[in-house]
A and B are shown apart, each in its own frame.
Chain A
Amino acid sequence: MLALIRKDLREHALPLLYYMAVTAAFPVVLALIDRGRPSPALLSTSFFMVVISPIMITHWLLNTEKTKRTLFLLRMLPMSVHHLAGAKELVALIMLISIGVVSVTSALTVLHILGGLEANSPNPVAVAWVFIGVVLFTELMLLSFLRFDQRLAIQVPYGGLLLLVLAYSALRNHRPNLFAAFVAIAGRWYVIAAGYLTVGLIILCLHLMMVRLLERTDWSHPTAE
């Protein structure tokens, strides 16, 4: 498993570093465009980079292996599919955390330099929810990329994400009281813990589905693409 993690990190080091550099540079460029004033766009751009990173990561980790049939090579190794899926998930998490840390650090640094740290710094509760949301999104992307053709795979979690945004908007505009109640309890530690537990269980289910898919599909076949 460690060999596979090392291989994946090494294989994708260059695109990952490039993505991290772009993510780090975004707040700086925005700050320059905004003539030194901290703006909400700065933070939302950083979040955007983090949110779309699962698509990049999954493409690197699974789509390339599928199209070049090296996933079949991995299936031939004396390694259980749990280890194979686990290694991919772990690498995705490492990449996600790297991109997230760079993104948040860069945004905070720019805000600090501009003197707007207090006004615009990210809310830790929001960061906690965004983090687990992105982890769930990544797992969903991994499963989608494994199950479907790349073009369709991207649509599956995107559809879910759009529904989530629509639900958020509808709740906020049409049920403001309910929305306020949700916001009020979202910061409580036991709600966060329950959220993490729920997402953890969903991720476990998705992992098992991924394992079953890896185990039961003939990855040498061209239609596996």
Chain B
Amino acid sequence: MRLNRDKADEQATAVLEIQHLYKTYPGFTLKDVTLALKPGTITGLLGRNGAGKTTLIKCALGLIPFDSGSIKFHGTELKYGSAVWRQSVGYVAESHPLYDWMRVQQFLKFISAYYPTWDGVYCRRLLDRFGIDPHKRIRDLSHGTRVKLALITALAYHPTLLVLDEPTSGLDPVIRTEFLEELRAEIMSDPEKRAVLISSHMLEDITTVADEVALIRNGELVIHAPLADVVKGWRVVSFNASPERDVRKLIDRYKIIRGRDGSVSLLCPADGLQSVISELQAAGANNIEIQNPSLQEVFLAFA
């Protein structure tokens, strides 16, 4: 059950294009990942802990070497070790490493030296919007404010690719909303050139901002499709079943997303729904109900 984008369409104008990427660690392999981020899109990268999301991001950004494959940025193949292209890439890492001894403005000045396109006016505007005092020491900032500062440092030079690794974990709903609004506003300011890759366990966030979804399971990309297609392409079929009847064979063929008190819910492809219902009825299932799945249900089935 693989749901992937039309690759020819992706490769024509991709901001970042990853092809057949392999990376092996002891006990883990990122296998043949091919993913393209189109301009004007926010792609949500999903997967369970240890599925390979952060490894994929670090390989894509040249922060760790990969075994084979290729990565292109605006059509130019990247050589491992080259760093200049990162002037156009914003990255908010999960751990948000910052210099605690610096004041906010000192830190921003330090970072700005590396980005020729640094926009001081925009940076000040973001500081105001997020309510960050530039004179405060970083060690005195709360977790949420540190995350916002990390986002400002990644946005202030208008990168064409923004990569966010679990950016909203530990943030309260108000800050998360502000964060996601700014993200959307930033990409809409120049949709012809910009793309965002956001890795998150917060499926609500992905549903709110993402246009496309990429799902990694055990190092393999199992889904890459527009968010609407991911949800639209599937149905949740709920029914009551007796374990001893033939319905068990059917259950084994599809993804079980819920199953308790004799009721079972399966995730089935929308185009094969009719045959599933017929088979269920033939197997003696009763109280059959059909619903549209949420992203979480698709995630639970595939991750």
Give me the interface of A with B, judged by CB distance under 8 Å: 2-3, 7, 11, 68-70, 72-73, 75-81, 215-218, 220
Contact = CB atoms under 8 A, between A and B. Distances in A.
A215 B91 contact: no
Is the contact region of chain B dominated by helix, strand, or loop, or is it mixed?
loop
Contact of A78 (B65, B85, B94, B95): B85
Given A11-B99, A69-B95, A73-B93, 14 more contacts: A3-B114, A11-B101, A72-B63, A76-B63, A77-B83, A77-B86, A77-B114, A78-B87, A79-B114, A80-B82, A81-B83, A218-B64, A220-B93, A220-B95
B243 interface: no
7 contacts: A2-B113, A68-B97, A70-B99, A78-B87, A79-B114, A80-B81, A216-B64
Query: Range of interface residues on chain B?
Result: 20 to 34
A78 B97 contact: no
Contacts of B99: 7, 11, 70, 73
Contacts, number: 63
Contacts of B113: 2-3
B111 interface: yes
Nearest to B58: A218
Contacts of A217: 64
Contacts of A68: 97, 100
Is the contact region of chain A dominated by helix, strand, or loop, or is it mixed?
helix
Nearest to B80: A215
Contacts of B95: 69, 72, 220
Q: Closest 8 interchain pairs by CB?
A: A3-B113, A78-B86, A69-B97, A73-B97, A78-B87, A77-B114, A80-B83, A218-B64
Interface string B112-129: 011100000000000000
Contacts of A79: 83, 114
